[in-house]
Structure 1
Amino acid sequence: MDDPPERSNDAFETKAIHAGEEPDLDPGGTGDLVSPIHLSSTFAMDEAGDPSHGYKYSRLGNPTREALDERVATLSDANHAMTFASGMAAIATTCLSVLESGDHVVAFDGIYGGTKVFFDDYLAEHFDVAVEYVDATDADAVADAVAPETALLWMESPTNPLLKLCDIAAIGGIADRHDVLLAVDNTFATPYFQRPLSLGADVSVYSTTKYLNGHTDSIGGAVVTNDDALADRIRFVQEYALGAMLPPFDCYLVLRGSKTLPLRMRQHEANAKRVARFLSEHDAVTAVHYPGLETHPQHGLAARQMDGFGGVVSFEIDGTGAEARAFVESLDLFTVAVSLGSVESLIEHPASMSASYVPEEERLASGITDSLIRAPVGVESADDLIADLERGLRHL
């Protein structure tokens, strides 16, 4: 009988389960297969100021958080990862670590609304940082917007909620030529389907609330980078200036959830493809936004830079805003709620929910119409989900 093949530690599925949680089998170790939840706020020192175990105060270092940091870094092909109390904490800390008064930021015009509020109402108002929004589906538009004061290119791919993409490698080349940083919000794709650092980004951020955790029971964020100096700056601002750490119990939840990330993402994508195809063939639907459809204007780019198309589908119905709201409220399996990335299927009417605070003229200009609906597709039976949508559309 042939010897069994050696286990590869390089497969994503293997790393999702084992990275950061190798059992401690040394003398005195407990052999925990699951990383313990270290709730202690402070740690006893055998030597004043220089403990042999390396921990002083949980804001500055916690074993459970370090296990998750290693997991997220490994899955992202990164040397460094830092986990935060929320996705917005990760975004804000990154920006505050690299920007100074008078700097200029070039941002995708389709970025997450919370990020845009932070840029417009905080960085611009209080730090004199100019933010210029461009259609980053065209890399030349990004290049044309770069100025001598530009310090950061902020991208998101796919975007929320219209699922637009940017060419990360091309924009990474622009960042390199102008010696500016490129940051990519990779929340929708996750490191399973896309790894921005490998495509040329300097830093990538996640809302771990979404797919990395995947179970609607933890809020958190993460930042990954291969730049040692940049990691030091972000970690300093996180630990000493803002203290925006992910608590140990949430770290445990994300460690647990991330073990099934590959399984979940494959099912999210399979269901989303079927839902998108169903919607694209329905007479009551006027447009479907999903990179996995060949009709998506950037389907080719998605196929090149991503390993899968994700689990979020947005679509527009042939109806008014009131009819769109009535439609989402009529569904049984799709729960009306903001957020995404959970095992449960959610649905929202952006104009009256996640984008309700955006002035109407600005909202419509960005493509968020009154008839737009966003559906983060869960891992239930695709047949059941389609039947639910069919019932709702029948009443329009």
Structure 2
Amino acid sequence: MANKQFKMTGKGSVAVHGGNEPDPKYAHLTPIYASSTFYFDTAQQGMERFAGSDKTQIYSRWGNPTHTVAEQKIAALEAHGLSNEKGEPLELKALLHASGQAAMTTLFMSNLSAGDVVLTHYSLYGGTQELLTKVLHENGILTIIADLRDPIKAEKAMQENPAIKMVHIETPANPTLQCIDLEMITNLARRYKLLVSVDNTFATPYLQQPFRYAVDFVFHSTTKFLNGHGTAIGGVLLGRDLSFMAGKAWKWYALLGGNANPFDAYLLTQGMKTLELRMDRHCSNAMAVAQYLEKHPAIEKVIYTGLKSHPDHAVAMKQMRHPGGMLSYELKGGVEAGKKFIDRLQLCTRAVSLGTVDTLISHPASMSHAGIPKAEREKYGITDGLIRMSVGIENIEDILEDLRQSLEG
């Protein structure tokens, strides 16, 4: 087991060793602590645990040792190589949830009250958009949508709406892969004393570290690339204000009951160990797919941040290690051509979600964004014919052959 004082230089090492805790029984891998509650040797010990900041040995809705290892590993990946305002290694606190939606709910509910406003952009994940515009709206928390890629429009929205308390962004966004300049938006937000939260699910901490730009919160659906194998649902909220995360954020987390479970946390921990290897393959395969599709006569448009044709290519290259494993595209024949294409696939998997080792292909308009009105979807670039592809780690020759035979019928 790596010594905690050993300074790891690469994210691959952090993915394997970061966050690990010595097991009292000398288990090589993090054990699954499948216990709803934990006993106390004495009344005094129980009092001390309740009074302390470590809630992992009281009740598993409050925390669990298996959760802790997963939380610490994600925090280590997001903070790797970064420093705080004092020049010291950045410390982050993570809270592991049962799903991404649970983590997102803790983020918003612990920071916002009735009368507050969230400033965000178009082309968000459908579940996030519905949470903002329906659930939070019914509780008096409003949402303003603006083109946050444009600094003039972004600042105009901040100036005109003093009730804005938080700026929430996805970059790259789902499924149009629009990218927001993290440095620009965070600098603007600081002028107006606004909190900034970033959904880093598509990029993962291997490709992008939003805390480098002094954002306040980072969110992941751990179901996706962090787990990497489609074996468990999960979400995580990370924050740089340790007292807030251990206090108010933890209180909302515990009371809302959106905690993870030990088995899913175990699966997540094991999945993250190969994050660097998987992401390198996802990214190289996605670039090859994008380049192939861009030249194919049946394709109307390819949306991939690694292509110079993407409007946010420069922003993506500025703040991401690689363009990522996600892309979208439209067929010239529209919806009917898209349905035939999807039905002919033989290797790629027809499924929602993303970030698994196998290639997943879905139709956002009828699946992940079905709850968003058509006019609103199309305004944000999510057309009826848009296909989203999470490129897996299969041999690229096989992925391209499946695309070829499916496109050419």
TM-score by length of 2: 0.91
Contact 2:121/2:169 (CA < 8 Å) preserved in 1? yes
Partner of 1:13: 12
- 1:237 to 2:249 alignment: no
Aligned residue among 174, 184, 188 for 2:198: 184
2: distance between equivalents of 1:142 and 1:187? Answer: 23
* Residue pair 1:324, 1:370 contacting (<8 A) in 2 also: no
Q: Is the 8 A contact 1:22 1:33 kept in 2?
A: no
> After superposition, where does 1:336-351 map in structure 2 within 5 Å?
336-351=350-365
User: Could you tell me which residue of structure 2 aligns to residue 3 of structure 1?
Assistant: none
Shift of 1:140: 2.4
Q: Is 225-234 or 253-262 further displaced after alignment?
A: 225-234
Aligned to 2:119: 106
SS in 2 for 1:374: strand
Conserved in 2, the CA contact under 8 Å of 1:205 and 1:222? yes
Match of 1:105, SS? strand
Specify the code of the residue in structure 1 equivalent to 2:97.
F
Q: What is the root-mean-square deviation in Å for CA atoms of aligned residues?
A: 1.5
> Shift in Å at residue 229 of structure 1?
3.4
Q: How does 1:240-251 map to 2 (within 5 A)?
A: 241-251=255-265
Q: Quick one: distance in 2 between partners of 1:315 and 1:234?
A: 38
Separation in 1, partners of 2:276, 2:212: 19
Q: Which residue of 1 aligns with 2:77?
A: 75
- Match of 1:356, SS state, is coil
**Does the aligned pair in 2 maintain the 1:97–1:233 contact within 8 Å?**
yes
* Amino acid across the alignment from 1:50: Q
Residue equivalent to 2:273: 259
Partner of residue 289, structure 1: 303
User: What residue is the counterpart of 2:151 in the other structure?
Assistant: 139
Aligned length: 384
Inter-partner Cα distance in structure 1 for 2:97 and 2:65: 15
* Aligned counterparts of 2:264 and 2:193: Cα–Cα separation in 1: 36
5 Å-filtered alignment, 1:1-396, equals 8-24=7-23, 29-48=24-43, 50-51=45-46, 55-77=57-79, 78-125=91-138, 127-146=139-158, 147-231=161-245, 232-239=247-254, 241-395=255-409
Rounded to whole Å, the distance in 2 between the matches of 1:353 and 1:326 is 16
CA contact (8 A) 1:345 1:376 kept: yes
Do the aligned residues in 1 keep the contact of 2:130 with 2:372 (CA within 8 Å)?
no
**Mean Cα deviation higher: 53-62 or 34-43:** 53-62
Measure the CA separation in 2 of the matches of 1:50 and 1:237: 25
> C-alpha deviations, 1:122-180, integer Å up to 9, x for none?
1112x211201111221322211112111110100000001000001111111111111
Question: TM-score scaled by structure 1?
Answer: 0.94
Letter of the structure 2 residue corresponding to residue 21 of structure 1? N
Percent identity of paired positions between Structure 1 and Structure 2: 39
Q: Is the 8 A contact 2:341 2:407 kept in 1?
A: yes
Query: Equivalents in 1 of 2:44, 2:390: separation in Å?
Result: 48
* 1:164 match: secondary structure: coil
The residue type paired with residue 70 of structure 1 is Q
Partners of 2:9 and 2:244 in 1: how far apart?
26
Q: Which runs of 4+ in 1 moved over 4 A?
A: none
How far apart, in 1, do the equivalents of 2:21 and 2:13 lie? 12
1:56 counterpart SS class: coil
Alpha-carbon distance, 1:335 to partner: 0.9
- Residue identity matched to 1:113: G
The structural deviation recorded for 1:355 is 1.9
**Is 1:238–1:245's contact at 8 Å kept on the other side of the alignment?**
yes
Give the drift of 1:22: 4.0
Rounded Cα–Cα distance in structure 2 between residues aligned with 1:22 and 1:234: 24
Q: Helix, strand or coil for the counterpart of 1:141?
A: helix
- The 1-side partners of 2:163 and 2:305 are apart by 34
Pick closer, same or farther for the CA change 1:230–1:174 going to 2, 3 Å.
farther
CA contact (8 A) 1:344 1:378 kept: yes
Structure 1 residue matching 2:45: 3-state secondary structure: coil
**Alpha-carbon contact 1:154-1:183 (below 8 Å) kept:** yes
Paired letter, 1:143: E
Q: What is the alpha-carbon distance in structure 2 between the residues aligned to residue 56 and residue 288 of structure 1?
A: 51
The Cα shift of 1:297 comes to 1.3
User: For residues 118 and 22 of structure 2, what CA distance do their matches in structure 1 show?
Assistant: 44
> How big is the shift at 1:379?
0.3
Provide the C-alpha distance between the structure 2 equivalents of 1:183 and 1:327, rounded to a whole number of angstroms: 37
Contact 2:21 2:69 in 1 (8 A): no
Give the superposition deviation at 1:48. 1.7
- The one-letter code matched in structure 2 to 1:320 is G
